[in-house]
Amino acid sequence: MATRKQLPKYTVPSLTPEEGAQVAQILQLRLHALNDLALTLKHIHWNVVGPHFIAVHEMIDPQVDAVRAMVDVIAERIATLGVAPTGTPGAIVEARTWDDYSLGRETAIAHLGALDEVYQGVITDHRKAAEDVEELDDVTNDLLIGHLHELELFHWFVRAHLESSGGELSTAGATTERGAADKATE
């Protein structure tokens, strides 16, 4: 990951090497989060069971593909900024600020409850990253905002399974994946 001591030898026009390194560092954290999200989504795809299995199983794969595409775009933007992107599993584990996904073989509704929490975290952090680069780099800001559109759409797909006809989420008030999974299946 780029630090102030490891400035790139070049960056994009209109940014200083310090600014390029700062933007790359913000993007590196998003790269870790999205790599983790892609793996989590695939894990859910393999471990979902129950009456809603096929709907959730088939809903997840396009999300995996889209998140993997986001990962590639972010890694290429980091490289464009003159910094080497890091996509190794060890780097993800070392840098992440969230716990590993906690559910194994579970019902579709339990996984969707937990996934509601996962998407909330990813989207909140992605939005913060977009705000952090807003004054520095319009291109990176635009890239992150484009990702937010897709991530929020996927989150809505998940929440549609958890919402009552009155608009209440079964996961309301949960603060952990396990807690959200439990509330969703009550």
pLDDT tens-place string over residues 54-110: 999 999 999 999 999 999 999 999 999 999 999 999 999 999 999 999 999 999 999
pLDDT, one tens digit per residue, over 102-153 is 999 999 999 999 999 999 999 999 999 999 999 999 999 999 999 999 999 9
| pLDDT at residue 3 tops 90 | no
Which is it for the CA torsion 11, 136, 121, 115, positive or negative?
A: negative
Give the pLDDT confidence score for residue 73 in this predicted structure: 98
| pLDDT at residue 43 tops 90 | yes
* String of DSSP letters for 11-67: --TTS-HHHHHHHHHHHHHHHHHHHHHHHHHHHHHHHEESTTHHHHHHHHHHHHHHH
- Residue 153 CB: number of other CB atoms within 10 A? 11
Give the pLDDT confidence score for residue 6 in this predicted structure: 74
Residue 21 contacts residue 6 (beta carbons within 8 Å): yes
- The residues that bridge with 107 in the sheet, in sequence order, are 49
| pLDDT at residue 50 tops 90 | yes
C-alpha pair distances (Å), 154 with each of 6, 13, 134? 36, 34, 24
- Residue 181 CB: number of other CB atoms within 10 A? 24
Give the pLDDT confidence score for residue 1 in this predicted structure: 44
Domains of the chain with CATH codes? 17-184 (1.20.1260.10)
Residue 134 contacts residue 184 (beta carbons within 8 Å): no
Long-range contacts of 143-149 (CB under 8 A, 24+ apart): 143/73, 143/74, 143/77, 144/30, 147/34, 147/70, 147/73, 148/123
| 169 φ, ψ (degrees, to nearest 5) | -90, 135
